[in-house]
Structures are given as C-alpha cells and as structure tokens.
Structure 1
C-alpha cells in the first residue's frame, strides 16, 4: 500500500506545527535523538519500540504508523530479524492482524526468514494467540506450495485444529488437507493428529476412514509405549511429549472404535472394544496426569458397558445405565435417546424412565425447538433423532396423540435443517402409522410435504 505521506513528513509537520526542536521533541517523547535523526534522515531502520515512542510524542494512537513502517522500514530498507520479530508481536498485541499478514507475506520467500516466521507462528499458537497464528500458518502454506514437508504438515494440522467448529463438512475439508501429510509429521504430533482426524471423520459418519485412523493411532501408541519401557533403557525425560499420556491413545483408539461400531449397529463388537479399554491394569505410570486419564477412561467404560449390554438385549443393564447418566446434565439427553432407541430395537418397555425424566425431556424439547438454525450445515442431530425414536416408541404402543406430535415436530425440524436422511425416516414412519392419524395431524403432514415439493432440491 502506498501512502501519500511518510513518517518523516508527518513528524516534520508536527514539529513545525508545535514549534519544537529535535531536542525538545525527544525530551517530550522520551526518545533518543538518534532515533529522530534516523527517521528524518532515513539513514537507518529503527525499531517498533522507538516508533511507538515517537507516535506517543506526536499524541497519536499506538500503531498509527504501522502500515507506513512496513513500507518504509521493512520494504524499502533492509531490516534484520531483530526488527521484524518485535514488530510482529507488537501487531498481535494491538490486534493489527493485517500488518502481520503483510509483513509475513513479504519475507516468506527469504529462506532465512521462513523458518523464523514459522517459529513465531508456533509461539503464537502455544500462547493461544490463535488469530495471529492462523494468519502466519496460512501464508506459510501458500509459500510452501505443493512441497511435502514437516513444516507444511504442521501448518495444515494447526489450521485444522484452529478451525474446528460445529460445521462438520468444514472440519472434514480441513482434515482432508492434513490426511495426505500425516507421514510428514513427527511421531508425537502424528499421534494427536490421528486422534483429531478420526474424531472429525467419525462426526461426518465416515466410519471406515475413522476406524482406520483409530487403528493407526493404536499401532503408533503401542510402538511408542514399548520404546518407553524397553529393558535397560536410560531413564531420561523425552524432548517432546504428546498432549495425553501414551497409554491414553491406545485406550482412546478402542473408545472410538466402540463408538463407531455402535453407530453401525454392531453392539457386540462395541462391547468387546469397551472391555479392551476398561481393563487398564497394564499401565505402568502412576503420576497425577496418568491417574486423571485412567479415571476418565474407566468412567467412559462403566457407562458404555451398561449401554452396550442394554443394546444387545440385557434389560437388567438399563437401571445401571440410568444411574450413570442421570448425574450429568450433558449425558442425560443423549443417554435417554439411546435408551428409547434400544427399547425400539429390542421391544423393551421403558415407560417408567420416560415418566421419571418427563420434565427434563420436555425442557429439552422446548429449548431445542426454539433454536433458530443459522446454517443448514449445522444440524441438531440429537433433537431430530430423539423425536424420531420417541415417535416410534409411542406409535408402536398405540399412544397415537403423543407419538404423532413428536413425529410432526421432528419432521418439521428435519425439513428446517434439510436433513434428507431423517426426512425419509419420518416419512416412512408416518406412512406406516397413517391409518391412526387424526385429520389435524394429516393436514400438518401434508403441509410439510407440500413444502418439500416446492423445494427444488428434492
């Protein structure tokens, strides 16, 4: 960006307007005379700290001249890293992200500066300065081009982590940019990348890919764990550690695969994977962090064992499962959904539990129904699927008023978020029970179907 004025001309005009000599201005701004001479004479580059002092002396906001500084001191002159690095950090402090973008883009072609800029990006990332880190990572990715390197792989992985959100398709798009670079990551970063990618693919119901990544994570962690506990190994602290204790990746691999098998309806296999991560007696470490994750895994295994026993037809497990989920507000609704789904699959009567939690269910329905869906990509899956299972449960037991109300409410939300697979399920359920629908219910159904026919996407 070209400016009609420069730092030098604005400083000259200010000093003339205020009738100040160089010495007087330096005393007022608490800046050395060499700095002002450097600005006025363009003899040498000056630091961002010196610029901030001059800006303060001119009674301007800090950062006022940063765009000028890029052009005059980082483009036209030959600055060294001692000036560039502090400038990047100061820009981050002031939220001047565009200045970071411009500065990094200027110097990434320089083979000396590219790794230094990456180090700054990593430091921003570690200290939760995510917006600035993302800008640097994106510029590095552009400059790396199609070259396969550890730096490119790490940048794509960091961008994937920073971009994770409720949009499952967007998460998978970012995961797809990391996937072909997994072998470029070191062993430790690859472990965490495998975990995060498996979760992203699982949420998008890409079961086979998620399962393969979980298996890779298990294999990698097993190998690393064996290395850690080799006989006669010198006991020294590793230079780099994963985000979790090493045993966790093996346990979590089984946890993920159990969840995938559950989603695929393979409850017996899900039970076997759960038994695998329920028994962690082989873990050798006893430190506080290990104990924390051991307890986490045991907690997951306890409720999951009851769940999968219930889903395989063991009615006696339902009460134990309810005892696990009712203590947690975040687990209650997903757990009740699974109970009703099991009841439909195994023809189990669960009226007692629906009555026990009817207030919680009603509050959940009111809250979720009122939520305005802000993008078709972000779907309230639990609400839609729970309503479907409740409708199925009550309709199959002759409670038609309640069942059809759940069906219409769920179908309406499925249309709202354009969840085609759920719409098809609702249509099938309605047609199966249509003879028992009231005129009012049938009119509501036809209204919803009329909206579908008007939609060009169908």
Structure 2
C-alpha cells in the first residue's frame, strides 16, 4: 500500500494536498507566496499545466511552512518529459540543490543526464553558475562530473573545468594544494591566453604558500614571458586598429607583468640569492611606462612601487645593512596592510644579525595576532613563517617561555596546513632553534 501511494505522488498532487491540509485557497497561497493567482491556477488546474520554476516551488514551501528543498525529489518531472530536457528549469534546480545540500536529488538526476554525453554541458553550466556566485565548494562535484565524463580532453569545458577545480579546492591544506597543482599543471597551456595569465598567477601563489621556491620561479618566469607577449601583441594590434579593449582577465594586464617580477624576486630572496633578487625588484619598481593604464592600472602600479620599496629595504637588511630599519619602519607606518608581510623578513634579519626589534614588535603588535579560523592559505603561510622566526628570536634572548609558546603555535599552524616537512628540513629547523639558545 505504501509503495503504491509513493508511486502515485507527484509535485502537483503534493501541492494540492498541502492546500487542503492548510485550508488555503489559491488566493491565500498567492498572497503568501507572491505568485499570481492566475499562474497558480495554470500550474495546478490546467491540462497541460503551466511549468513550475524552482523559485516558485521555494516560495510555496515557505508559504506552507516547509524548509527549503521541499518536494525537490519530485521536481525532475518539471525538467524531464518524454526524453526532452528543459535546460532553463534544470540548471536552476541543480544549482539550488547544490546550495542547500540536496545531493540525493543531484545524484538521481545526473545518472539520467549522463546517458547522453552531450549533457555534460548542462553540468558545466551549473558548475559555472555556482563558481561565479562564490560557491566554489559546491561547484566541485559538477566540475568533477564534467572531467570524468567529457571524452575530449582538449574541449573548452574540460580544460576550464580543470582550472576551476584547481581554484575551488585551494585552502590551507598544503598536501591538497600540492595535489591540485600536480593535477592542473598539464592543462594550463590549453587555456586561452587571457585565462593562462590568471592560472599562472594562481599556480605561482600556491607554490609560494608551500615554500616550493623553484616551482615559484618556474611559474613566475612563464607568467612574465606570457604577459610580455600579450602586451606586445596588444601594442601591435592597437597600431593597426582603433579597438582599445584589453584582453579579458581577472586583473589588469600590468598585474601579471609586475607579479612575474615580484614572485621571481621573492623566490630568489627565500633561497638567499639576494643580489639576484634585487635585479628583479627593479623590474616592477616603476611600471609607469606601461601602456593602457586606466585608473585601476595606475593604482596597481602604485602598489608595485610600494612593494618594491619595502622589499628593497628588507633585502638590504638581509645583506647586513640593518641600520636602515628605522627608515623602513617609518615607511611601513603609511601602509598598514604591508606591515605584517614585512615583519616576517624583519624578524628573519634580526635573527640573522642579532639586533633587537622589541620596540618594533611592540609598536606593531596588533598586526601579528590572529584567529585560526580567519586564516586562509596565504595568511596561514605568513603566520607560520613569522611564528617560526619569532620562536628563534625569543630563544636567543633567553625568554624561554615565550619561545616555547611560539614554537607550539608554529607547530599548530603546520598541522592546520598539513605542512609535512622533509626529515632533513626538520633537522635543520631543530638545529636552528637549539643554536638560538645561548650557552651558559
């Protein structure tokens, strides 16, 4: 009997049932849901009936006092009929299922969809809508389905799905981030040039967070070369055409050019190749010559100028000229958002040359605190490096309780990031911390 009742259930019969149970007329339901009475009548009484959108179903659920997702398991009848698919209803339905966590409904309809490989385009559209609306986590399932079921690995939607998946899974987990880099590395060259710029910048940044300096160099070189090619092509195009729209990218073109130099210099600095790093800093210190600079571009150029100035200060200190610290600190005071990244290197300089920065740490103490839940990949990486350097700093000054506390905080961040350091690096880290403890 129960099976027979289940088989007889339909979207409209359940809505009619709720109308009776609540004692609502169509006018009352219209008033509560915001759906016109005429439309409700056409949905529930006409034959053939007017289609119900997923937003209208949500509105009726709210009117009847049900949670979001009410009757979603019956909604596919609005999208699939006699082998035909209504894409305008199916895509919003799948998007909504992902948003509220109705994976059961997604799995049920996807199995039918994938009987025809062409329907991967529907899944790609769903993934794109979720990704573009900031729901990257929810988009992952759909991009994976496209990748698993698209036979042409050179198709636009396959390659773009690989890129979006790479972006969507990034976080504080170093192990997962590296897996994402390895998985995506063989696909970025298949993207359109304008998207390649974004992809290379992301690849370099992820490798930077993982302290993989050679990989940062590799992607920074690729980024710098590609940005130069795109820039020169644009110069030639504008010579023969009046068109003035830059290639569509997430950031201004000057960002990719400048970041190619900045990331290269940063990777060299981390490998203690300071003089070589200086050469690359000059590559982004003054980008005012860059053509096509609108207001946004000019603001980006100013950011690079500031970063070059700060990085030049810190490089000089790493080379032993720590007398410029007061000048550096005064400069930083005008750029609060740059204080903490600079402090990481200043702390390293203090440890290398043994000078005291207690006053600096006190002055900028508000910039060194953090809540673990607020950390993203980049900020977690910076705090990890800062805590490590500060532990050494405190141990050198025989403030052992603080030094041990900073060491524990450093370990907690490493665990959060799943930062598994090779054994020989662990030995070096331990040796550095032991050496920081003064002999008695």
**Shared fold, TM over 0.5:** yes
Aligned position for 2:53: 48
Distance 1:336 1:94 in 2: 42
C-alpha separation in 2, matches of 1:373 and 1:94: 24
TM superposition shift of 1:99: 4.0
1:385 lines up with 2:393 in the alignment: no
Listed as ranges, the matches of 1:287-366 within 5 Å are 287-345=294-352, 347=353, 350-351=355-356, 354-360=357-363
- Verify: 1:436 aligned to 2:439, yes or no: yes
Q: Give the Cα–Cα distance (whole angstroms) in 1 for the partners of residues 63 and 410 of structure 2.
A: 61
CA–CA distance in structure 1, aligned partners of residues 88 and 144 of structure 2: 23
From the CA coordinates, give the structure whose radius of gyration is larger.
1
Distance 1:246 1:414, change over 3 A: closer
Q: For this pair of structures, how many residues does the alignment match?
A: 414
Is 2:278 the counterpart of 1:277? no
Is 1:408 paired with 2:404?
Answer: yes
* C-alpha spacing 1:412/1:141, structure 2 compared with 1 (3 Å): same
RMSD: 3.9
C-alpha change, 1:97 and 1:294, in structure 2 (3 Å) is farther
Instruction: Give the number of the structure with larger relative contact order, counting CA–CA contacts within 8 Å between residues 6 or more apart.
Output: 2
Structure 1: distance between partners of 2:437 and 2:65: 76
- Structure 2: where are the runs of 5+ without partners? 31-36
TM-score normalised according to structure 1 size? 0.75
**Aligned residue in 2 for 1:268:** 275
Q: Distance in 2 between matches of 1:154 and 1:177?
A: 13
Q: Is the 8 A contact 1:415 1:423 kept in 2?
A: no
| 1:257 CA displacement | 0.6
From 164, 171, 184, give the equivalent of 2:190. Answer: 184
Bigger shift: residues 87-96 or 315-324: 87-96
Contact 2:310–2:342, Cα closer than 8 Å, also in 1? no
Q: Offset of 1:151 from its aligned partner?
A: 1.4
CA spacing shift, 1:299–1:388, aligned 2, 3 Å: same
103-112 or 298-307, larger mean C-alpha shift: 103-112
Q: 1:155 to 1:102 in 2, by over 3 A?
A: farther
Give, in angstroms, the shift of residue 84 of structure 1.
1.9
Kept in 1, the 8 Å contact 2:194–2:249? The answer is yes
By how many angstroms is 1:267 displaced?
A: 0.8
Match of 1:241 in 2: 248
CA distance 1:427–1:216, change in 2 (3 Å): closer
- CA distance in structure 2 between the aligned counterparts of 1:306 and 1:122, rounded to whole angstroms: 43
Structure 1 contact 310–317 (Cα < 8 Å) conserved: yes
Contact kept? 1:387, 1:406, Cα under 8 Å: no
CA distance in 1, matches of 2:184, 2:167: 10
Gap regions ≥5 residues in structure 1: 395-400, 438-458
Change (3 A) 1:26 1:65: farther
